[in-house]
């Protein structure tokens, strides 16, 4: 029996992955918000687990982190992209 949640969007990220990705990049919440074109409040609320951003905002956050050099590893972690 698989432990993977089939309802979880493959492009989804967790609050912990978002925080870890920012830490790897030494990126603050303001910079991520600007790069993803979302408010800083969206980043804060997401990382604190208060709410999950809408699909478009979540995709923009992930895309901004990937463009900055982060790879997402399944639903569990992050790493810096190979140069």
1 membership: H or E segment, kind and range: none
71 membership: H or E segment, kind and range: strand 70-73
CATH fold of the domain at 15-70? 434 Repressor (Amino-terminal Domain) (1.10.260)
All structural domains of the chain with their residue ranges: 15-70
State CA 21 to chain mean position distance.
7
pLDDT value at residue 7? 38
Query: How confident is the model over 9-28, as a mean pLDDT?
Result: 90
For residues 35 and 65, give the distance between their C-alpha atoms in angstroms, rounded to a whole number: 8
Query: 44 has which bridge partners?
Result: none
For residues 49 and 63, give the distance between their C-alpha atoms in angstroms, rounded to a whole number: 20
The CA R_g of the chain, rounded to the nearest whole Å, is: 12
Could you read off the pLDDT of 30-66 as tens digits, one per residue?
A: 999 999 999 999 999 999 999 999 999 999 999 999 9
């Amino acid at each position: 029996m698989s432990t993977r949640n089939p309802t979880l969007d493959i492009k989804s990220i967790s609050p912990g992955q978002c925080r870890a990705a920012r830490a790897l990049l030494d990126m603050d919440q303001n910079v991520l918000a600007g790069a993803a074109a979302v408010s800083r409040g969206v980043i804060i609320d997401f990382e604190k687990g208060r709410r999950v951003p809408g699909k478009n905002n979540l995709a923009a956050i992930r895309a901004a982190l990937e463009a900055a050099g982060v790879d997402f590893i399944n639903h569990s972690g992050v790493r810096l992209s190979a140069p």
